[in-house]
């Protein structure tokens, strides 16, 4: 039995989402469904999208759905279940506003559990990182040089995503000069038509750039000398007070470059037996418990972080993070001393 296919259009701008959805609907000869942003939480937004998919399945017809701006892909695919295999995520990107949107620290209700909040920048990064395709409105780029930098950044964040630029020979040629434009993941297309024609099951999971970095297979399709990604590892646990000082100082002040995205896993000397998930997007950063050590599981130690940004000083950033680790005398003193270290980071609350 044929399974209907769904294309979910995401992005901060509702007008751009609607325009992209209508264009794709015309090309694929399916219905476009436009959902509005009036939702109490990210979870509510995801439920509205899932309901639209369910309606399409019941009717036996695929749809293009313009989704609310607060839709979180990870929540959405949990709700979709097996329908996720036939659902593509398409994110509209405005080059003139992307960096401003990535710096948006305003908090919204996540809805995952009571009192959970998430920054708008984090929602946008999650959408980009889980996208099957990124539609880049090149006409909004200040110039070809800025477009080159933007394509490289998107390619570092979402190596699996196809970059789609509406037709325009000058911009297409400039995009190709920014890096490889092959036929694989991350390649560029010059119109919506190629995007609409795509078929086959969704790659599940689409891996964010930071995951690929930690797995050792990060290969962005586009390159720009100003954009880079660094992997930082250190087996020694962090001193939480030093981490906070770095985040409030050189990290946020740009002493080691403009850090756009960092994510991965970390350990703090004051929080034994727990691995933290480090999750930073623009000016917002959260460090939450990810997993507890188990007697029969592999032992997790130290730090493993992926860091993406502009003009990164890899040596300086590595040295700054190394300074956050326990010093040799502190490490040798053992857990009894570690428990007495000052820990100004927010307390980790158990998940409901």
| CATH number of the domain bearing residue 240 | 3.30.1220.10
Domain membership of residue 348 (yes or no) is no
Structure-token pair, residue 229:
């990604």
Query: Over 60: is that where the pLDDT of 169 sits?
Result: no
- Same-domain status, 15 and 121: yes
pLDDT confidence of residue 64: 97
Structure confidence by residue, pLDDT tens digits, 255-308? 999 999 999 999 999 999 999 999 999 999 999 999 998 877 666 779 999 999
Domain holding 161, by residue range, is 6-207
Structure confidence by residue, pLDDT tens digits, 195-237? 655 544 555 668 999 999 999 999 999 999 999 999 999 999 9
In the chain, what are the helix, strand and coil shares in percent, each to the nearest 5?
40, 25, 40
Domain count, the chain: 2
- Same-domain status, 260 and 195: no
- Same-domain status, 88 and 184: yes
Structure-token pair, residue 258:
């403009």
* Structural contact between residues 120 and 104, judged by C-beta atoms closer than 8 angstroms: yes
- Same-domain status, 163 and 277: no
| CB atoms near residue 134 (< 10 Å) | 27
Q: Is the pTM of this model over 0.85?
A: yes
E runs forming strands in the chain: 6-10, 31-34, 63-66, 87-93, 107-109, 117-119, 133-136, 162-164, 188-189, 227-234, 258-266, 274-281, 284-292, 303-310
Q: 3-class DSSP state for residue 65?
A: strand
CA distance 7 to 292: 37
Structure-token pair, residue 194:
């190629």
β-partners of residue 292 are: 274
Structure confidence by residue, pLDDT tens digits, 2-34? 789 999 999 999 999 999 999 999 999 999 999
| CB atoms near residue 222 (< 10 Å) | 26
């Amino acid at each position: 039995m044929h399974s209907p296919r769904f294309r979910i259009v995401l992005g901060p701008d509702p007008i751009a989402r609607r325009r992209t959805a209508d264009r794709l609907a015309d090309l694929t000869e399916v219905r476009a469904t436009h959902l509005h942003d009036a939702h109490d939480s990210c979870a509510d937004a995801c439920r509205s999208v899932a309901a639209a998919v369910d309606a399409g399945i019941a009717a036996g017809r695929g749809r293009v759905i313009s989704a609310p701006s607060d839709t979180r892909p990870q929540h959405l695919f949990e709700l979709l279940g097996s329908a996720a295999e036939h659902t593509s995520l398409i994110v509209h990107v405005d080059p003139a506003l992307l960096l401003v949107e990535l710096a948006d620290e305003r908090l919204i209700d996540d809805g995952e559990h009571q009192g959970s909040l998430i920054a708008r920048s984090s929602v946008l990064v999650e959408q980009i990182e889980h996208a099957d395709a990124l539609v880049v409105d090149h006409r909004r780029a200040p110039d070809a040089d800025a477009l080159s930098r933007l394509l490289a950044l998107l390619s570092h964040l979402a190596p699996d995503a196809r970059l789609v630029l509406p037709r325009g020979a000058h911009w297409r040629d400039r995009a190709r000069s920014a890096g490889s434009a092959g036929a694989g993941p991350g390649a560029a297309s010059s119109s919506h038509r190629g995007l609409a024609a795509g078929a086959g099951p969704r790659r599940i999971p689409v891996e964010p750039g930071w995951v690929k970095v930690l797995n050792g297979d990060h290969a962005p399709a586009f390159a720009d000398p100003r954009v880079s990604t660094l992997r930082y590892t250190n087996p020694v646990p962090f001193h939480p007070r030093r981490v906070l000082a770095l985040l409030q100082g050189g990290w946020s002040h740009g002493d080691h470059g403009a850090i756009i995205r960092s994510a991965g896993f970390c350990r703090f000397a004051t929080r034994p037996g727990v691995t933290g998930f480090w999750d930073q997007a623009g000016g917002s950063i959260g460090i939450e418990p990810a997993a507890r050590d188990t007697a029969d599981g592999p032992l997790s130690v130290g730090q493993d972080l992926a860091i993406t940004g502009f003009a990164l000083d890899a040596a300086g950033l590595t040295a700054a993070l190394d300074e956050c680790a326990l010093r040799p005398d502190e490490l040798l003193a053992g857990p009894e001393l570690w428990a007495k270290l000052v820990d100004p980071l927010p307390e980790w609350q158990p998940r409901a």
